[in-house]
Amino acid sequence: MKTKITLLAVMLFLGFQAVNAQQDEECMTKLSIFSEYAKAKNFDAAYEPWMYVRTNCPKLHKAIYSQGSDILDYKISNATGADKVNFIKDLAKLYEERQVHFASDSPVGEYQTKACQLQYDNKEALGLSDLELYNCFDAVFTSDKENFTNPKSLYTYFSLMVDLYDAGSKSDADLFNKYDDVAEKIQTEVGNYSEKLNVLIEKVEAGTDLTSKEASYQRSYESYLNAYDQVATGVDKKLGDRANCENLIPLYQKGFEDNKTNAVWLQRAAGKMSEKECTDDPLFFKLVNAYHEISPSANSAYYLAILKDKEGKVNEALSFYEQAVSLETDKFKKARLNEKIGDKLRGKGRYGNARTYYMKSLQLNPSNGRPHLRIAAMYSSSANDCGDSNFNKRAVFWLAADEAEKAGRVDPTMKSAAAQSAASYRANAPQKSEIFQSGMSGKTINIGCWIGKSVTVPTI
């Protein structure tokens, strides 16, 4: 009896193995079939064999999910009514299945965001409310912010918050906190891609050609930086004047007592008031001093410098600016801080000091074109003060044009603005007939005052 049971178990096991082998072989065949159809964009033919593999062998290959999303995208685009809704829901389900079967290559922050964005893009067909969609994105952002990097989805997430705020479903605090969350995330991603791009920019500026692989990486990094630049602009535009002094001051006054030992809250409040030029209000003084007392940092020293500037204490302000830079340890943030200090000093007409900080910023982050454009603008503004003749004064515009062109070379987000600025500056510089009449062709002009540089007159 025992022998019969053993034989039966062996037969069942072998039969099971044979069925599995048969199924595996069928899956491999259908995988090959649907993959070839998908590559040829014959998605209708790919659908049936793909569904077989997806259902019976979900762990077989990642193509089930990568090419499967292409198949369902096609189905969604070519369906209507209930069929379209079913395909949309199935694509969202596919993202979840990928996270189950290929978890190590499918972070929640990437693939669940895809599902949320898919639902947002089809919210009318699915009948979803703004709150449901916002909660979808918010759950992902909260659970896996590191991998929530899609530029479009970052904008969608914040846009939904603004819409809910306008509808009365979210408070001022909700709105401004979420703005800070998203703005900080965008800056983190800009910093990540800038750091990668800087390595290549430094190589190019040193006169070394990029390999084809490096050139491909450069295009990719520039594409992402362009996308994040557009998103940052879009987020600020969406926020609009909702974050004005009239809204910010009462909000932060109300929250100060409960948050006067909360460094993050104090930093964000002081930062928002600084950004929106609300620094004349006594509340800014309270926020900055409370923040610096409990958490001396680059940010708190920067805000103290602003206060000293407002008091007209120039040397003390510069001392705090230097302290802010020395306290910052993150290279990208240090570059941003130097740029912000440069902006403050430029606004006060202290062009020489401003250029110093802009140059420090460029040393840390050479792929940022804004400092080049700022320096070019300062040269242009000083043209009338930094030359001893009309020709030499206008020669300053060549220097401004050269500086503007650097912005376009290193920064993909600045190419258009840099080209327009450079063309404008060159139009104000001496033209060919004037160069000929002056006899200055090919000669070098030393430019005085704070500029302290030389420029070579074009040869004609």
DSSP symbols for 244-280? SHHHHHHHHHHHHHHHTT-HHHHHHHHHHHHHTT-TT
Please list, in sequence order, all residues whose beta carbon lies within 8 angstroms of the beta carbon of residue 389, skipping any fewer than 6 positions away: none
Residue 455 lies in a domain: yes
Residue 187 lies in a domain: yes
Q: State mean pLDDT over 127-156.
A: 97
Provide the pLDDT for residue 12. Answer: 34
Asked which of 209, 241, 273 is the last residue of a domain, the reply is 241
**61-70 contacts, C-beta under 8 A, 24 or more apart:** 61/31, 62/98, 62/102, 62/105, 63/31, 63/35, 63/38, 64/31, 65/94, 65/95, 65/97, 65/98, 65/101, 65/102, 65/106, 67/34, 67/35, 67/38, 67/39, 68/94, 69/94, 69/95, 70/38, 70/43
Residue 350 lies in a domain: no
Q: State mean pLDDT over 89-99.
A: 97
Residue 336 lies in a domain: no
Q: State mean pLDDT over 10-34.
A: 65
Residue 96 above 50 pLDDT?
Answer: yes
Residue 14 above 90 pLDDT?
Answer: no
pLDDT tens for each residue of 310-356: 888 988 999 999 999 999 999 999 999 999 999 999 999 999 999 99
CA distance 130 to 109: 20
Domain that holds residue 81: 30-241
Provide the pLDDT for residue 22. Answer: 55
Residue 415 lies in a domain: yes
Task: Please spell the DSSP secondary structure of 172-229, one letter per residue.
Answer: HHHHHHHHHHHHHHHHHHHHHHHHHHHHHHHHHHTTPPPPHHHHHHHHHHHHHHHHHH
Q: Residue 405 belongs to what H/E stretch?
A: helix 390-410
Residue 343 lies in a domain: no
Question: How many independent structural domains does the chain possess?
Answer: 2
CA distance 115 to 41: 23
Residue 24 above 90 pLDDT?
Answer: no
Provide the pLDDT for residue 74. Answer: 97
Residue 293 lies in a domain: no
Asked which of 182, 209, 241 is the last residue of a domain, the reply is 241
Asked which of 191, 220, 241 is the last residue of a domain, the reply is 241
pLDDT tens for each residue of 250-290: 999 999 999 999 999 999 999 999 999 999 999 999 999 99
CATH number assigned to the domain comprising residue 57: 1.25.40
Residue 9 above 70 pLDDT?
Answer: no
pLDDT tens for each residue of 28-81: 999 999 999 999 999 999 999 999 999 999 999 999 999 999 999 999 999 999
- pTM score: 0.83
Residue 252 lies in a domain: no
Provide the pLDDT for residue 16. Answer: 35
pLDDT bucket at 206, cuts 50 / 70 / 90: confident
